[in-house]
Structure 1
Amino acid sequence: MDERVTLRSHLDRSALQTPLHGAALADVIKAIASASIELAGLIADGPFAGITGRHGGINSDGDQQRDIDVAADEMIRRALRGTPVAAVLSEEAALPETLRPSAPFCVAIDPLDGSANLDNNISVGTIFSIRPRGNDLLSTFFEPGTAQCAAGFIVYGPQTTLVLALNARVDVFMLDRHAQEFVQTRQAVQIARNMPEFAINASNHRHWHGPVRTYIDECLSGISGGGDADFNMRWIGSLVAEALRILVRGGVFLYPADARPSYREGRLRLLYEAHPMALIMEWAGGAASTGRRRILELAAKTPHQRVPLIMGSVHHVRDVTAIHDRIEPMFDNSDAPLFARRGLFL
C-alpha cells in the first residue's frame, strides 16, 4: 500500500461514518488492540516474564487454565474498564462482569485461545465480539449473532496480526513492533471461492457423523472419485491461525460435533468463538454454519454454550451443508451405505 494506514486512523475514519456511538465503538476496539500489544510482548517473553505455562486450575467452562490465560484475561479486562462497555463476558469467568451498565456496548471475548499451543511455539490468539447493549444488560449476550456490530481476532505468531470486521468489511493489520502500533496490510478482504483446501482433525474420523465423514472422504477422493479438484488438507490446531489462512488463501475449516460425549454439541463456544468468526467470514464474502444452521442465526442459551463450526468459502460450506441436508437425520450417527450414494458427486 502507498499510504500507511494505522488501526487508529482507520478507526477514527470509521467513527465519522458511524453516527450512532461510532467514536465509542472505536474506543472499545482501540482498547482491545492496546491490550493485545501488551499481551504479544508477554507471550514473546514467556518464561523471561515469569510465564511458566503451569496449570492454574479449571476455568468456568471446565477447561484447564494456565497462568498465561489468567494474565491475558486480566490485561483485557483492565483495558476495557476504561471504555464504554456495559459488560464483558470472558471465557475465564462463569458470568459476565458488569462494568458501566449504561454504556452502549457489550463484549464477549476469549482472551487467549489455544494457550496449550504455546508449549510448541504455535500461534495463539485473542477473539472478540462486540454488540450493542440491549434494554436488559445480560440478555444482550443471548441475542443472535446478527446483533454483532463488530468482531475480530488477533494472531500472536511470527507477526502479530489483527483481523477486524467493522462496517460490513474485513481489514487486516500487522503490528509494527518498533512503532508499537497496528498498520493495515490488507483491506476489504474477500475469501477465495474455490481453493481446494480443507482443515479438520482427521484423527477423529472414527467419531464423525455421516455427513462430515462423507464430505471429507469425497474431498480425499478428488478428481479420481468424480470431484472437481484434488484437495489438500491443512490442520494447525489453532482457530485464529486457521481463520487467517482462510482469509488469505481460501478453503474450509471444520470443527464438527461428533459421537464422543463431550463433543455432541460441538466444542467451540458460540458467543466468543463461533459468532465472531462467522461475522468475519460473512463480511469477507464467506459463510459459517453448524452443518445445518447459519451460525449468525443462533442465539446462545448459556454463556459458554458450545457449537459445531464449519467456516470458509461459500462454495465449500454449501457443499458441506448440502450433504447434511441430503442425509436423513436418522442416519447421522451411522455408517449406513446410504452415505455412499448421497454425497456431492451424485
Structure 2
Amino acid sequence: MQRLIPVLKRDNVELELIMLIRTVLAASKEISFRVSQGALAGVLGSTLDENIQGEVQKKLDVLANQLLKDMLLDDDSVRAIASEEEDFVVAGTPNAPYIVAFDPLDGSSNIDINGQIGTIFTIYKARNDVPDDSELQFAQPGNQQLCAGYVLYGASTLLMMTTGGPTRCYTLDSTHGGYLLTENSFDIPLKTKEFAVNLANYRYWSDSIQSYFNEILYKSDEYAGSSMRWNAAMVGDIHRVISRGGLFLYPQDSRSGNENGKIRLLYEANPLALLVENSGGQASSLGQPILDIQPSSLHQRVPVAIGSKEQVEYYNKFL
C-alpha cells in the first residue's frame, strides 16, 4: 500500500499544498485518538454554549475545533481559516497562499452514542484583493476548491480526499501513524434503491417534495423496494453514497430558519459535492450545480441533493 505523500506527488500536487494537507491530517489523528478514548478522555457530553448555528456544542466539538484552529494558524501557508463553530473568519499568516474552511466534527449528535462522526475540510487559494479576515476570502464557488476531504471516525479511521483528480480513500494505520491508500478511485452507480433523508421532516416539506417520496415509496415500479439509510451525520451518509451509490437529501422546509435547509455551503455542501462529482456522482441545490453557486455569506445554507446521477436528476424533476 502507498503512503499519502507519494500519491499526492504522483498527482502533481504542489509541495506547499501537500504540507498544508499534512497539517490538517495531523489534527485529524489527534481527534481520532480522542474519539477512540470516548468517556476515558472526558470528551463526551455537552457544554453550556451554542455555536453560530444555534446548536448546543458538544465537548468534542469544541476540542476538535480548537485543535484544527491552533494547528492551522501555526502553519505559515494559511492566510485565514473559517469554521462552522466560529462566528467570523480568523486571520492567519499575512500573504500566505491558502485559506482553509472546516466542519471540525460533523454528526455531533452521534458523539455520545458512539455513532458516525467526521471532520470535513476544504482548501482554496487566498485572495489578494480583500483583507485577510474578510468573509470575502471565502466567497468563492466550490469549483475553485484546490482540495476537499473528510476524515470518518469509526471502526477504522478513513480519509476521503480529492485534489482535483479522482476521489481516493486512505486508511489510518495506527502502527506507524500514517494514512495509506486503500481505494484509488470510485465509480458511483447511476442509480440505486437507497436514499438518505430525515423522513421525520416530511410534514414540513412542500407538496412537490412530498410527491417525490410518495412516488418512490408507493407508486414507482422503477424504485419499488427503495430503502432509507440515515446516520444523522452527513459525512457518514455521503461516505456510503460514494462507496456504493444512493441519494442524500436535505431539502428546504417550512420551519422558521429552515427555508434553505440545514446544510452549510462552505463547510459541508461544497467539499462533499466535489468528492461525489469526482467519483462520478452529481450534486445539486434546487436543480443548480452546487459547485457553481456563488456564496453570499460565510454560514450560508443550501438545500442539497447529492448522489447517483439518475437519482439526483429524477428528484430534480419534482422541484
TM-score (norm 1): 0.87
Checking the alignment, whether the CA contact within 8 Å between 1:211 and 1:320 is kept in structure 2 is no
- What are the equivalent positions in structure 2 for 1:1-346 lying under 5 Å apart? 4-14=1-11, 17-18=12-13, 22-80=14-72, 81-135=74-128, 136=130, 137=132, 138=134, 139-221=136-218, 225-227=220-222, 229-324=224-319
Checking the alignment, whether the CA contact within 8 Å between 2:191 and 2:309 is kept in structure 1 is no
2:94 is matched by which residue type in structure 1? P
Q: CA deviation at 1:166?
A: 1.3
Instruction: Provide the secondary structure at the position in 1 that maps to 2:318.
Output: helix
Q: CA deviation at 1:130?
A: 0.8
In the alignment, the residues of structure 2 paired with residue 173 and residue 161 of structure 1 have an alpha-carbon distance, to the nearest angstrom, of: 6
Q: CA deviation at 1:291?
A: 2.5
User: Where does structure 1 lack aligned partners over 5 or more consecutive residues?
Assistant: 325-346
Q: CA deviation at 1:56?
A: 3.6
In the alignment, the residues of structure 2 paired with residue 294 and residue 211 of structure 1 have an alpha-carbon distance, to the nearest angstrom, of: 20
The percentage of counterpart residues that share the same residue type is 34
Checking the alignment, whether the CA contact within 8 Å between 1:171 and 1:184 is kept in structure 2 is yes
Aligned to 1:329: none
Question: Is the radius of gyration larger for structure 1 or structure 2?
Answer: 1
Checking the alignment, whether the CA contact within 8 Å between 1:291 and 1:320 is kept in structure 2 is no
Residues 80-135 of structure 1 show CA distances to partners (whole Å, capped at 9, x for unaligned) of 12241110001111111111121111111001111221111101010011111122
In the alignment, the residues of structure 1 paired with residue 39 and residue 226 of structure 2 have an alpha-carbon distance, to the nearest angstrom, of: 40
Q: CA deviation at 1:295?
A: 0.9
Alpha-carbon spacing, 1:226–1:52, altered in 2? closer, same or farther (3 Å): closer
1:313 is matched by which residue type in structure 2? S
Q: CA deviation at 1:313?
A: 1.0
TM-score (norm 2): 0.94
Residues 45-102 of structure 1 show CA distances to partners (whole Å, capped at 9, x for unaligned) of 1221121323240112221112211110111112212241110001111111111121
2:5 is matched by which residue type in structure 1? R
Instruction: Provide the secondary structure at the position in 2 that maps to 1:169.
Output: coil
In the alignment, the residues of structure 1 paired with residue 208 and residue 186 of structure 2 have an alpha-carbon distance, to the nearest angstrom, of: 30
Deviating beyond 4 angstroms after TM superposition, the runs of 4 or more aligned structure 1 residues are none
2:123 is matched by which residue type in structure 1? I
User: Where does structure 2 lack aligned partners over 5 or more consecutive residues?
Assistant: none
Instruction: Provide the secondary structure at the position in 1 that maps to 2:257.
Output: helix
Q: CA deviation at 1:34?
A: 1.2
Q: CA deviation at 1:13?
A: 2.8
Instruction: Provide the secondary structure at the position in 2 that maps to 1:323.
Output: coil
In the alignment, the residues of structure 2 paired with residue 278 and residue 183 of structure 1 have an alpha-carbon distance, to the nearest angstrom, of: 23
Checking the alignment, whether the CA contact within 8 Å between 2:44 and 2:111 is kept in structure 1 is no
In the alignment, the residues of structure 2 paired with residue 8 and residue 58 of structure 1 have an alpha-carbon distance, to the nearest angstrom, of: 38
In the alignment, the residues of structure 2 paired with residue 100 and residue 251 of structure 1 have an alpha-carbon distance, to the nearest angstrom, of: 41
Alpha-carbon spacing, 1:292–1:167, altered in 2? closer, same or farther (3 Å): closer
Instruction: Provide the secondary structure at the position in 1 that maps to 2:291.
Output: helix
Instruction: Provide the secondary structure at the position in 1 that maps to 2:296.
Output: coil
